[in-house]
Amino acid sequence: MAGSIRSERVVEVLSRLISERGAPKFLRSDNGPEFVSTRLLQWAADEGLQMALSQPGKPWQNGTDESFNGKFRDECLSMEYFRNRTEARVVIEQWRCHYNAVRPHSALGYLTPAQFVESLSGKDHEATSLK
């Protein structure tokens, strides 16, 4: 159980993210059981979100996700030997923090994701104050 993600957890995390950042028009995912469960699909419908599921065997339909998965595997998972799940959680959290707050991303104009989000917040604030 600790190694899998249940649809209830996916709903919980997505609900929190939507309350913090607003709702997207649709959710793109693969066809993993946690993303095609009745519970998640019903929640998405209740929230007015459309699902954009990648077809099985066609990872290029979700290139951003696949790119991230490759970086995560190459820069974190393949570089470590985890003796237990606790160690894995710690190392993965350290990598996640580095990836989001320290490592610049070319697709974001060589900003970190945290800097990019901050720059968007500033633009939203400027646009609001100009009205």
DSSP string, the chain: -TTS--HHHHHHHHHHHHHHH---SEEEE---TTTS-HHHHHHHHHHTPEEEEPPTT-GGGGHHHHHHHHHHHHHTGGG---SSHHHHHHHHHHHHHHHHHTS-BGGGTSB-HHHHHHHHHHHHHHHHHH-
pLDDT of amino acid 34:
67
- Please give the class, per CATH, of domain 1-53: alpha beta
Write out pLDDT tens, residues 75-129: 999 998 999 999 999 999 999 999 999 999 998 999 999 999 889 876 654 443 3
Q: Flag whether the pTM goes above 0.85.
A: no
Write out pLDDT tens, residues 8-62: 888 999 999 999 988 888 888 777 776 667 888 888 889 888 888 777 777 676 7
pLDDT of amino acid 73:
92
pLDDT of amino acid 65:
75
- Residue ranges per domain, the chain? 1-53, 60-131
